Amino acid sequence: MKYLFSVIVTLLFFTGTTFAQQQQQQYPIIKPTFTYGQLDLALRLMEKIELNGAEVDAFLEIKGLFYPALVKGANEKKQLNDKITLDMNTKQADNVLAFLNRARLTGGEVQTFKEFKDAIFAAAAVLRK
């Protein structure tokens, strides 16, 4: 009985892992280039939006992509105008844009916000070529 249980658990584990890998591989990778200032603004704006429960995982995934890049840049004494290229899949990019479309901006943030979005669109345009 214990053997049967462990075989079932093992099969479920590998099935779940394979499914997760297939889900991850479905979305093409884009490589947008941002400035650290743009990345910082995007993260700060995302921190202020309201989420529903179904969006928590997507939000944490994006935060887990942006925040370590900002910390690494700070540790390397990068300036706000220095550039960074991030690898993200198109689903992550779509989620970022959806979250940021709910953000409230001040007039001083508009230009940086637009440049951030344009960087994502430019990286996605490479896929269409």
Does some domain include residue 124? Answer: yes
Does some domain include residue 10? Answer: no
For residue 1, what pLDDT is reported?
A: 56
For 83-95, write each residue's pLDDT tens digit. 999 999 999 999 9
Does some domain include residue 6? Answer: no
Does some domain include residue 64? Answer: yes
Share of the chain above pLDDT 70, in %: 81
Contact 118, 32 (CB under 8 A): no
Tally of domains within the chain: 1
Poorest-confidence range of 12-16, 37-41, 47-51, 86-90?
Answer: 12-16
Question: Beta-carbon neighbour count of residue 6 at 10 Å?
Answer: 10
For 54-75, write each residue's pLDDT tens digit. 999 999 999 999 999 999 999 9
For residue 8, what pLDDT is reported?
A: 52
Q: Please give the model's pTM, rounded to 2 decimal places.
A: 0.77
Residue range of the domain that includes 118? 28-128
For residue 17, what pLDDT is reported?
A: 46
Does some domain include residue 117? Answer: yes
Does some domain include residue 103? Answer: yes
For 98-119, write each residue's pLDDT tens digit. 999 999 999 999 999 999 999 9
Does some domain include residue 7? Answer: no
Per-residue pLDDT, averaged over 7-11, amounts to 47
Distance of alpha carbon 44 from alpha carbon 105, whole angstroms: 11
